């Protein structure tokens, strides 16, 4: 057992505490990673606030990058020193979803409370999202990591572990956007900006960002949005129809976990269009719509978990686009914080001002 520093959640909604925890060595099929950088995702915040349940104490953090420290029995694809991304996508490789090429929705359950972390007194610590990367080191299943070139700046590269693949993947994998189609992205935060640049990369004719603030719309333009509409104006979907030449969008991406965004999303959508559900509200929150309209004009409502990413397939081409200057990563980083500053970084993220805050080790 190794003793490491980690940000511990002991009570939902309370500040995290920096404490020493015990991390066991990697077992069969597992890899130990020295964490170099871990971004703060709204999913981590939702879990820490109790929005999706779970057990406490827990260590969250899942959008990470670092270097392999040790490998367990049976691991042959990775070796100490490898530079890797760490994700929460644990895939068995043989369930129906994995076999169909959708490892992001692997159906094989596992017990996060029986993970590699304990308190010094032996109390189990939940490995939040199966990752636990708000810590100096993490032990994860080998399916959760993927190699990246060692020269990449890890404070930016770590964003590929969640925010980038979620936004870009929702466009290219879930919606299968075709060149020339028109797009609306509701929410120009970290994931929304990546949906926008995904739509730009896919050749969208028009990309309309919808958000509550002018500042977010300015950021959207930097990432490829052709137009911006304030969600606060009366019936903003009418403005979208004007922008798109009298027809609504072929694809609408809801990238925020806000019920009002889901309640209005279909109003932006053309007949036969796809509404892609990316943002995740808290458990128990409900949206409403008229099924007769969806049915009558052939609209689709598609869920998208982590952009339906396949790590070994999708990460290499995204890395290549970044190296070419066609995929923005560095521009997504709003601030770099130490582990001791994590509560300040979380507060800044909650304020809505940040694109992505990154904890660096």
* Cβ count near 178 (within 10 Å): 12
Nearest-angstrom CA–CA distance, 331 and 344: 21
pLDDT at residue 58, as a whole number: 97
- Residue 342's region, left for phi above 0, alpha for psi from -120 to 50, else beta, is alpha
166 and 97 in contact (C-beta within 8 Å)?
no
What would the CATH number be for the domain defined by 2-161+328-360?
A: 3.90.180.10
65 and 87 in contact (C-beta within 8 Å)?
no
**Gyration radius of the chain over CA positions:** 20
What are the structural domain ranges in the chain?
2-161+328-360, 168-304
User: pTM of the predicted model, to two decimals?
Assistant: 0.95
pLDDT at residue 354, as a whole number: 87
Could you please state the CATH topology (level 3) that the domain comprising 168-304 is classified under: Rossmann fold (3.40.50)
Same fold, 2-161+328-360 and 168-304: no
At residue 145, what are phi and psi to the nearest 5 degrees? -120, 160
Residue-by-residue pLDDT tens, the chain, 361 positions:
899 999 999 999 999 999 999 999 999 999 999 999 999 999 999 999 999 988 999 999 999 999 999 999 999 999 999 999 999 999 999 999 999 999 999 999 988 778 899 999 999 999 999 999 999 999 999 999 999 999 999 999 999 999 999 999 999 999 999 999 999 999 999 999 999 999 999 999 999 999 999 999 999 999 999 999 999 999 999 999 999 999 999 999 999 999 999 999 999 999 999 999 999 999 999 999 899 999 999 999 999 999 999 999 999 999 999 999 999 999 999 999 999 999 999 999 999 888 999 999 9
Q: How many residues does the chain have?
A: 361
Buried residues in 294-314 as b, exposed as e (16+ CB within 10 A): eeeeebebbebbbbbbbbeeb
273 and 248 in contact (C-beta within 8 Å)?
yes
pLDDT at residue 110, as a whole number: 86
Q: Helices 190-201 and 214-222 sit at what angle, rounded to 10 degrees?
A: 40
């Amino acid at each position: 057992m190794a003793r490491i520093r980690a940000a511990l959640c002991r009570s939902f909604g309370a500040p995290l505490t920096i404490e020493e925890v015990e991390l066991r060595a990697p077992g069969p099929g597992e890899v130990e990673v020295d964490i170099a950088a871990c971004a703060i995702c709204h999913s981590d915040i939702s879990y820490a606030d109790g929005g999706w349940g779970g057990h406490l104490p827990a260590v969250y953090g899942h959008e990470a990058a670092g270097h392999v420290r040790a490998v367990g029995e049976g691991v042959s694809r990775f070796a100490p020193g490898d530079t890797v991304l760490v994700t929460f996508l644990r895939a068995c490789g043989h369930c129906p979803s994995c076999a169909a090429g959708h490892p992001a929705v692997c159906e094989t359950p596992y017990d996060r409370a029986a993970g590699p972390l304990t308190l010094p007194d032996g109390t189990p610590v939940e490995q939040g999202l199966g990752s636990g990367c708000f810590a100096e080191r993490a032990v994860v299943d080998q399916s959760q990591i993927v190699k990246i070139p060692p020269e990449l700046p890890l404070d930016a590269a770590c964003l590929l572990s969640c925010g980038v693949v979620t936004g870009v993947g929702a466009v290219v994998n879930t919606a299968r956007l075709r060149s020339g189609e028109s797009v609306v992205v509701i929410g120009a935060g970290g994931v929304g900006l990546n949906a926008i640049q995904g739509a730009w990369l896919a050749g969208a004719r028009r990309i309309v960002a919808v958000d509550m603030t002018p500042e977010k719309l300015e950021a959207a333009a930097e990432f490829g949005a052709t137009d911006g509409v304030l969600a606060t104006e009366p019936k903003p979907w009418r403005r979208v129809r004007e922008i798109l030449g009298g027809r609504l969008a072929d694809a609408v991406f809801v990238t925020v976990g806000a019920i009002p965004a889901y309640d209005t999303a279909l109003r932006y959508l053309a007949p036969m269009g796809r509404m892609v559900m990316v943002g995740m509200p808290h458990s128990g929150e409900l949206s409403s719509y008229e099924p007769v309209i969806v049915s009558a004009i052939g609209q689709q409502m598609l869920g998208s978990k982590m952009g339906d990413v396949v790590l070994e397939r999708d990460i290499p081409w995204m890395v290549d686009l970044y190296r070419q200057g066609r995929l923005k990563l560095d521009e997504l980083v709003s601030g770099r914080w130490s582990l001791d500053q994590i509560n300040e970084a979380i507060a800044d993220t909650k304020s809505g001002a940040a694109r992505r805050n990154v904890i660096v080790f």
